[in-house]
Amino acid sequence: MGEHALAIEQFERAISIEPGHINALCMLGAVLSELGRFDEAALYLRRALAGDDRSSHAHFNLGLVQFEQGDDAGALASFARCRDLIRGRPWGEDCLTALAREPRPQFSPSAMRVSVLKLRHDCEQLQYLLESGKLPRQFDAVLADHRALLGEMQDSFEDAMLTPFDAGRHPLVARTYKRPIHIAQDVALDGALINPRLDFRDIEDRYLVARPNVMTVDELLTPEALQALRHFCAESTIWNHVKEGFLGAYTQDGFCSALLLRLARELRDCLPRVIRRFPLQTMWGYKYDSRCPGIGIHADGAAVNVNFWITEDDANLDPASGGLLVYPHEPPREWGFTRSNSDPAAVRDYLESLGSVPRRIPYRANRAVIFDSDLYHATDQLHFRSGYLNRRTNITLLYGVRSAPVL
């Protein structure tokens, strides 16, 4: 609700009553971070971790604070610790040993439910990793077990429907499902990641005069940076959040690298009047099936949204679509974040009552859409070629919180 002073007062009272309350310490650290009080935030988050080093929430928020303090190595370590707690450590060169033992941490039964959509993606990714030599041939059996389970399910279940499976019948699926089997090696690139030929002053001017604040930037990344991000998204087994027609990967459980943190910092440095000093809130990647309705109308709880696409243009069979729809209206302030995103019928009625017509931004590889994150937006209809590397993949970085003051 943006009542930061009251939030701080209440969390401080909770901590005075129970000094070791991990969640209160974490939340106070998160609020202070939103306000740009990073040194104070770090103190509370480290107090939380002193009480419970297994708090993934504290590690994640400390990583964000360390990034704002200019400590990318510390941020990477904190995000990695968060990922390890949620998914387990990356298997790396020890993947055969990891395959032979019980995976840790144990996932809840609900987290182990599978879907046709995810199994289809995971089969394609395992095949890609095997063919490119990223996994040893012993993982042929893992791929075969995934294919067998997919064969049992694909005629009986809707693509995104989550359902339990028999781990006794499919032990290799059970051992590898949602695990960081392989994480692409971080690439150290010299020079800028953001295309230095872009006229950043002009980009900022166009964004600031636009009403509402929406603009596109083509050729956002250098060719080397674009290729490195493609490798990271294709190779890393981090696509664990099942949505309607697509899979998500988030900072807290693996969507992070030195390259992504450098990119987040360069974007802010190149566009200081747009992103200003808004703290980085999170990053994610989404990877889609070749045909799907995409994400419905929603608004993100941030100040500035930077969304860009990395799949090759020739994968898109309809160059007039496949991108983003951005509406010129935001949710009513009294709705709050939850209602703005959990009641699709109310959102549609609200936009229709305003006569709101979205701006269609067609898909292009290496095209970024930068916009006021409060604006309602949705994925346009997709029609992409089949094949693993043809999956539409987008990366999103969120900066700031709309209700927080500008630093």
CATH 1.25.40.10 residue spans of the chain:
4-87
What share of the chain has pLDDT > 70, as a percent? 98
Higher-confidence residue: 346 or 339? 346
- Is the pLDDT assigned to residue 6 strictly greater than 80? yes
The class that CATH gives domain 4-87 is mainly alpha
**pLDDT at residue 406 in the model:** 45
pLDDT (tens digit per residue) in 376-387: 999 999 999 999
User: How far apart are alpha carbons 25 and 206 in whole angstroms?
Assistant: 41
User: How far apart are alpha carbons 308 and 361 in whole angstroms?
Assistant: 11
**pLDDT at residue 325 in the model:** 96
pLDDT (tens digit per residue) in 163-193: 999 999 999 999 999 999 999 999 889 999 9
CATH 2.60.120.620 residue spans of the chain:
200-399
**pLDDT at residue 333 in the model:** 77
Report long-range pairs for 260-264 (Cβ below 8 Å, ≥24 apart). 260/229, 260/232, 260/395, 261/67, 261/72, 261/75, 261/76, 262/72, 262/193, 263/193, 263/194, 263/221, 263/225, 263/397, 264/67, 264/397
**pLDDT at residue 295 in the model:** 84
Q: Which two tokens stand for residue 92?
A: 């790396």
**pLDDT at residue 290 in the model:** 81
* Mean pLDDT of all residues in 16-44: 96
Give the pLDDT band (50/70/90) at residue 403.
Answer: low
Q: Please state which architecture CATH assigns to domain 200-399.
A: Sandwich (2.60)
Q: Which two tokens stand for residue 75?
A: 């941020």
What share of the chain has pLDDT > 90, as a percent? 86
Higher-confidence residue: 47 or 244? 47
pLDDT (tens digit per residue) in 44-96: 999 999 999 999 999 999 999 999 999 999 999 999 999 999 999 999 989 99
pLDDT (tens digit per residue) in 93-115: 899 999 999 999 999 999 999 99
**pLDDT at residue 294 in the model:** 75
**pLDDT at residue 407 in the model:** 45
Give the pLDDT band (50/70/90) at residue 262.
Answer: very high
The phi, psi pair for 343, rounded to 5°, reads -130, 80
* Mean pLDDT of all residues in 6-33: 97
**pLDDT at residue 402 in the model:** 67
- Is the pLDDT assigned to residue 404 strictly greater than 80? no
Whole-number average pLDDT of the chain: 94
Chain centre to alpha carbon of residue 265: 16
